[in-house]
Chains A and B, each alone.
Chain A
C-alpha cells in the first residue's frame, strides 16, 4: 500500500516512515501541509496519515482537500489528547480513523492494516 505521512516533528516522521516501510508499505514522508497536498496530488497514495497541527496547511485542510477530490483515499488523523473537538471536525470532513498521541507504533500498524484492500 502507498502511504503518505504528514508530520512536522522530524524524528516522529522518520520513525513512522521506517515502521511502515518495515511492514512492507511504500511510504512518502512530508514535513508540512503544503508539501503533503502537493505529494497527494502527484503520488496518489492509498492512505494518508496526517498530524492535525502542521505548518502551511493543517491536517484538517488536508482531510478536506483529499475528500473533496479523491474520495477513495483513506485518511487517518493523528491528534493530541484534548483535541476531541478537532477530531470530530476531521470526521465531519470525511476522515476515516484517528489515533491519539501518545500512541504505540504497533497500534498504528494495526489501524493501517484495516485499510489494506
Chain B
C-alpha cells in the first residue's frame, strides 16, 4: 500500500505539466520578492535623499536666522521661505527640523538661543510638541515634554508639573527636569507628591541642573527629609550637602536613625558638610550597631570633624574585629587628636598583632 502511494506521488511530481506549473510559480515568487526588495530600497533611498536635501537647505537658512540681530522688536519676525512652509507640512521633515532646533537650543545661549525659540514659535512647532505631549505612548510623551521645556514654553509648566509623578519613569524624569528648567529650586515642590522612586541618575541630573540656578533657602527641605519615599529623603540629603543648608541640621541628625542604609549614608555625608560643634559627637554616637559600610563612612567623615573629645570613641573602634575598620579608626585618631600617635604606639606594644603594622603604616602615611 505504502509503495503504491509513493510510486503514485513520484509519478505525479515528475509529470511535465506539474513541473511547468511549479517552475512558473517559483519564478513569479522570485520576481515578486525582488520587486518588493527593490521598492523598499528605492523608497528608503528616496526618503534619505529628500531628507538630505531638506537638511542642507534648512541648516543653511536656520543658521542664518539664528545669527540675525534685530534692534527693533517689531522687525523680529523671520522671513520663512515658501518651500520650507511646504516642507514642514510633512511630519518627517518637521520632526527633523524640530530635532535640529532642540539640539541647537541645548548648546547655545544668548541671542542665538532666543532666535531659536522665536523661530520655533513662528513656525508653530509648539502645537506639534503639544500633540506629542498628549500622546499615550510614553516615549512620544517624554519627547514632547522635552521639546516644550527646552524651547522655554513656560505656559505649559502646569501641564508638565502634573507628570512629575507619572507612573512611567522616563515621562516622570522629563517632567521633573522640565519643572526645574522653568522654576529652578521653587520647582522642587514636586518632591512632596512623589510616590515613585527617583533613580540615582535622575538625582545626579537634577543636582547638575540646579547648580546653574539661583540658590534660595530651601524652606520645604524639612518636609522632604521626612518623606515616606526613601529616594526623596536621599535626594533631600544630597540637596542639603550640595547647597549647604545649615538650617536642617536636626532633621539630618534624625535621618541617621533611618531604617534604610542608603539614607543613613547620605545623612552622614550631609552632616559632615553642615557640621557644627556637636556633629562629631552625634555621628560617633551612631557608630555602634551600624553596618560595616556606614561604620567606614563614619570613621572617614570624622577625619574632618573629630577632636580630642572623640578619643574614647576611637579606642572602642580600634577593638573592631574588621582590620579595615581598625586601620581607619587608627588613621582618624592620629589625624584628628593630639595624642593619637602616642595612643596607637602604646596599643602596638600591648597588642603587637595587628597594631604594630597599623601603627607603622599610619605613621608613615602621616609623615610624623
Contacts and interface: CB of A to CB of B under 8 A. Distances in A.
A102 B106 contact: yes
Contact of B112 (A9, A17, A105): A105
A108 to B, nearest CB: 10
Nearest to A105: B112
B113 interface: yes
Interface string B54-66: 0100011011101
B107 A101 contact: yes
Interface in B100-120: 100-101, 103-104, 106-113
Per DSSP, chain B at the interface is: helix
Interface residues of B, number: 23
A106 B109 CA distance: 10
A82 interface: yes
B63 A102 contact: no
Instruction: Name the residue in A17, A101, A102 with the highest tally of chain B Cβ atoms < 10 Å from its Cβ.
Output: A102
A101 B62 CA distance: 19
Contacts of B113: 102, 104
A11 B63 contact: yes
Contacts of A103: 107-109
Contacts of B108: 12, 15, 102-105
B67 A104 contact: no
B212 interface: yes
Nearest to B113: A102
Contacts of B104: 9, 11-12, 15
A47 to B, nearest CB: 19
Contacts of A17: 63
A22 B67 CA distance: 9
A104 B55 contact: no
Interface of A: 9-12, 14-15, 17-19, 22, 81-82, 101-107
29 contacts: A9-B104, A10-B55, A10-B59, A10-B100, A11-B59, A11-B62, A11-B63, A12-B104, A12-B108, A14-B59, A14-B63, A15-B63, A15-B66, A15-B104, A15-B108, A15-B112, A18-B67, A22-B67, A81-B212, A82-B208, A101-B107, A102-B106, A102-B108, A103-B109, A104-B110, A104-B112, A104-B113, A105-B108, A105-B110
Given A11-B63, A12-B104, A15-B108, 7 more contacts: A11-B104, A15-B63, A22-B67, A103-B109, A104-B113, A105-B108, A106-B111
Interface of B: 55, 59-60, 62-64, 66-67, 100-101, 103-104, 106-113, 208, 211-212
